[in-house]
Amino acid sequence: MSWVVLRLGRALLTLLLLIAFTFFTLAMNGDPAAAKFGPDIDPETLEAFREKWGLNYPLWKQFLIYLDGIWRLDFGLSFRTGRQAWELVSARLPATLALMLPTMFFSIALGVPLGIYAAAHRGGRADRLTIIAAVIALAIPAFLLGLLLMYVFSVWLGWLPPSGWVGWSSFLMPVATMAVSTASVYARFTRSAMVEVMSHPMIETAEASGLSRRLIRRVHALPNIALPLITITALEFGNIITYAVVTESVFAWPGAGRLLIESVAGRDYAVVQAIILLTGSTMILANLLADLAYGWVDPRIKDARRPRPHRKEARA
């Protein structure tokens, strides 16, 4: 229990630091009034806008007002639209989730079997090809891969729509853009975890007892690579959010990632903060769930977290 409380405390502190860092970074390098009205506006209008939105208060006071709002689950109003920031973000979230969830599914479905296959043929041609493909996939930036796919499948072949959502075919290129690099991460980690497990003495023992290689992999090796895969899944969740920001811009996908870019450019503090808070919480939650999952997958970890009995009690 104390372990969970400690983790939650750390999560809250991380969130607070995240909010503070985002707030001060945005506030110190751009004026929302100038961003909203552009360069041609008269100074009186700019001043009236700053006054109306409390931008003339000292930064620390603006921050405390914002924190007070967060405490009451009020994320504030968007400078750009005058609407609730949370309303804007929640309207865009479903479109982002509609990209993220299939991406995660296909990354695991493609990357894990590829990694197992490469490890099973360690040192062979299949292994080398898999590794080279994974490195290339990881090295290509998402925006470049997105544009390449667009030029092949939309401009040359005319098979897929290049932007927005015009049917289920619209998912293919954005999901492929995001899944390629994530799948390559899964392939590489699965391969190395599998190679490590397969060199463990227990595998030799299993082989000596006459079990087939396939059965050994399924029964002895796969459960042992579950832990690193859970860790990677929690980390990749953050990467997928990053890819979504880029991919949504390239494919004009109406998600929260594109909203984040627009809002940062427009210094729309409330919206940026709401998105950062949401993604930060998601990351923290994903890591927390991964920690909990460790105990479920490997009971030894659960035992280690239990408080040790007092020495006197132990003697008794």
Q: What is the contact mask toward other proteins in residues 174 to 213, using x (rule: CB under 8 A)?
A: ----------------------------------------
Position among 37, 63, 106, 117 found at the interface with other proteins (CB under 8 A): 37
Helix, strand or coil, per DSSP, at residue 26: helix
Task: Select from 115-123, 156-164, 185-193, 296-304 the region that touches other proteins (CB under 8 A).
Answer: 156-164
Shortest spacing between CB 35 and other proteins, in angstroms? 6
> Under the criterion CB under 8 A, does residue 151 sit at the interface with other proteins?
yes
Q: Which is nearer to other proteins, 93 or 126 (CB)?
A: 93
The Cα 16–Cα 111 span in angstroms is 35
The Cα 151–Cα 158 span in angstroms is 9
Shortest spacing between CB 49 and other proteins, in angstroms? 5
* CB 266, CB 137: distance < 8 Å: no
User: What is the four-CA torsion angle of 164, 169, 171, 175, rounded to 10 degrees?
Assistant: -130
The Cα 268–Cα 67 span in angstroms is 16
Position among 85, 95, 112, 206 found at the interface with other proteins (CB under 8 A): 95
Q: What 3 state SS string does 187-212 have?
A: HHHHHHHHHHHHCCHHHHHHHHCCCC
Q: Which two tokens stand for residue 52?
A: 């109306």
Task: Select from 60-68, 88-96, 116-124, 297-305 the region that touches other proteins (CB under 8 A).
Answer: 88-96
> Under the criterion CB under 8 A, does residue 43 sit at the interface with other proteins?
yes
Q: How many residues bind other proteins (CB under 8 A)?
A: 57
Report how far apart, in Å, the C-alpha atoms of 259 and of each of 64, 69, 247 are. Answer: 25, 21, 12
Interface with other proteins (CB under 8 A): 29-31, 33-45, 48-49, 51-52, 80-83, 88, 90-91, 93-95, 97-98, 147, 150-151, 154-155, 158, 161-167, 170, 249-252, 254, 258-259, 261-262, 265, 267
